[in-house]
Structure 1
């Protein structure tokens, strides 16, 4: 696994609270069996590039039928020969805090 992505996707036309739609997307991510971590501003996903892009597409397609406007941001960090980036990147910074 060499791709780490942060996905934020939600409708803009469903009022102030969109947690119902975020939960719908999170279920799709959970069913993918890719490593992931929900954060207050999005969900980080680790896996192969094509697998992540497939999940992003599924998430969009799940919202599209009932939403007239969808906001989506996707950040990707690709690095060859890297594994466990979801946890390792955080650990690396935390270790340096204690130096």
Structure 2
């Protein structure tokens, strides 16, 4: 199981807002989530997607192409991959691990 951090940047839009393009990408992600192959989380600055790496590359290609389908001639996509092979960890499990350690440190300080 891998987790990717993806930022799709449509270049050459009519204005500074890109939320319409991001909404289209979220629809694509919802469709893939319904198959059970991925999970995702939209944040204010990026989208996090988890799944098997092969499936993630397929999804990334589709969301990268989405702004081209709306007539744009240039898209920049930044991808960061966390591919841990010694154990399978989901996004929420990684957060739980940090929060548990934080709780312990706070208790130890008292």
What TM-score, normalized by structure 1, do the two folds share? 0.90
Distance 1:28 1:81 in 2: 30
Could you tell me how far apart the structure 2 residues matched to 1:93 and 1:13 are? 39
Structure 2 match to 1:61: 65
Q: Structure 2, unaligned stretches of length 5 or more?
A: 105-110
Q: Is the 8 A contact 1:6 1:43 kept in 2?
A: yes
Residue 27 (structure 1) aligns with: 27
Structure 1's consecutive aligned runs of 4 or more residues displaced over 2 angstroms after TM superposition are: 81-84
Alpha-carbon distance, 1:62 to partner: 1.8
State the distance in 2 between where 1:5 and 1:52 align.
8
- For structure 1, the 5+ residue unaligned runs are none
Task: Tell me the distance in 2 between the aligned counterparts of 1:53 and 1:82.
Answer: 20
**RMSD, matched Cα:** 1.3
